Amino acid sequence: MTADVNKDRLWNSLMTLAEIGATPRGGVRRIALTDEDKRARDLFCDWARDAGCDIRVDTIGNIFARRPGRNPDALPVATGSHIDSQPLGGKFDGAFGVMAGLEVIRALNDAGIETEAPIEVVDWTDEEGARFAAGCIGSGVYSGHRDLAAALVLEDAEGVTVGAALERIGYAGPAPLGEPGFGAYFEAHIEQGPILEAEGLTVGAVLGAQGQRCFVVTVEGVDGHAGTLPMAKRQDSFVGTAKMTVALTELAETYNPAAVITIGHVRVVPNSRNTVPGKTVFTIDSRHPDSETLERMEADMIRICGEIAKSSGLSVAFETVTRAEPIVFNTGCVDAVREACRQRQIRFMDIHSGAGHDACKIAAVSPAGMIFVPCIDGISHNELEDARAEDLAVGTQVLLDSMLAYAK
């Protein structure tokens, strides 16, 4: 038997959810563990109960909505994402994955299909990290990447802890962490980039997520008077930084596949309009799906910055702030996504995720995979984020078929 998703129902659910925390430019502001997040959580739980699901909440506030299977002892086949958003986020980032999971359950109900294993939809707590300066809190604690006690005492800018916020909105649950686990986990998500749209494709079978190396780089020269110090005599830390920025940008294109290197934050000292800056501090965010390439990139970046500093009479120092290894998703899960596309004659491509997701954490404790669909113009983390109802429905259909392959 097969089950077909209902495009209009999926879209209407997303639009109704988007009314919670709606912003004037069409986005959402649904910061984790706020009143808006609570309202969205409550709505998801109501919808899931109406679809015949049992609800449980664990000690970090993750919500699990379970559709029973024939074998109650079988590990559930799960899907999900997050409902919280960036301060000025879009309607689809995270929310699509949760609503797609709900639509899977509704479509199975419509078709009268009983699965061997239970089907489970998860809303993970605080994926975005916009409030407590730590992303993927719920999935990180669930998967053992983050300590529960340490997560509960994380504070926001007002000193409110995760634990206190969970208690206030009524989602400090009793369910133990990580039990009973998943037989497999799939996450549907908008791509948050332009690749699928540029290729004219509807689905990306996600192979894994890029690894990441982040650094704080300090370039030091000598302060000087803007009017009296000749150009040839200057040891201008900012000019050296500008040269490094151009060189690192050019370096990214030399790897195959191309890497991404971002200089995202620059601080100039003393930051005075008539003083040659003697010190500049900047950040590097470098990413690539291959760990050996990441190591080569790090060595190349240190070498290039060192050479520029030496030729400019400057010194340079690197401080490592993030070392995240690439994530490789389960071959069986990736193959299930590919086969679901082939069976439905859906054109797809293999793709890597440039961003982190809850699935990247869950991959450590369960077979995991992801399904990408396009977002218009590749825009995300933005009120203007948008997606086509047809693409979302196709991605959800692939999700349903992939999960059925595991849930039998």
User: What are the boundaries of each domain within the chain?
Assistant: 7-209+326-407, 211-324
Omega prior to 68 cis, within 30 of 0 = no
Let me know if the fold of 7-209+326-407 is the same as that of 211-324. no
User: What's the fold here for domain 7-209+326-407?
Assistant: Aminopeptidase (3.40.630)
The encoded tokens of residue 365 equal 């404790």
The encoded tokens of residue 28 equal 């959402």
Residue with tokens 């309607």: 91
Give CA–CA dist 100/98, Å, rounded: 5
Give CA–CA dist 40/44, Å, rounded: 6
On whether the 211-324 domain is CATH 3.40.630.10, my answer is no
pLDDT at 179: 87
CB-based contact 308:240 (threshold 8 Å): yes
Q: State pTM to two decimals.
A: 0.87
Give CA–CA dist 344/348, Å, rounded: 11
Most distant CA atoms of the chain, gap in Å? 83
Closest alpha carbon to 172 in 82, 37, 60: 60
Tens-digit pLDDT profile for the chain (408 aa)?
689 999 999 999 999 999 999 999 999 999 999 999 999 999 999 999 999 999 999 999 999 999 999 999 999 999 999 999 999 999 999 999 999 999 999 999 999 999 999 999 999 999 999 999 888 999 999 999 999 999 999 999 899 999 999 999 999 999 999 888 999 999 999 999 999 999 999 999 999 999 999 999 999 999 999 999 999 999 999 999 999 999 999 999 999 888 999 998 999 999 999 999 999 999 999 999 999 999 999 999 999 999 999 999 999 999 998 888 999 999 999 999 999 999 999 999 999 998 889 999 999 999 999 999 999 999 999 999 999 999 999 999 999 999 999 998
Give CA–CA dist 250/314, Å, rounded: 21
Give CA–CA dist 393/11, Å, rounded: 8
Give CA–CA dist 355/40, Å, rounded: 24
pLDDT at 40: 98
What does the buried/exposed string (b/e) look like for 249-277 if buried means 16 or more CB atoms within 10 Å of the residue's CB? Answer: eebbeebeeebebebeeeebbeeeeeebb
Backbone angles phi, psi at 54, to 5 degrees: -90, 145
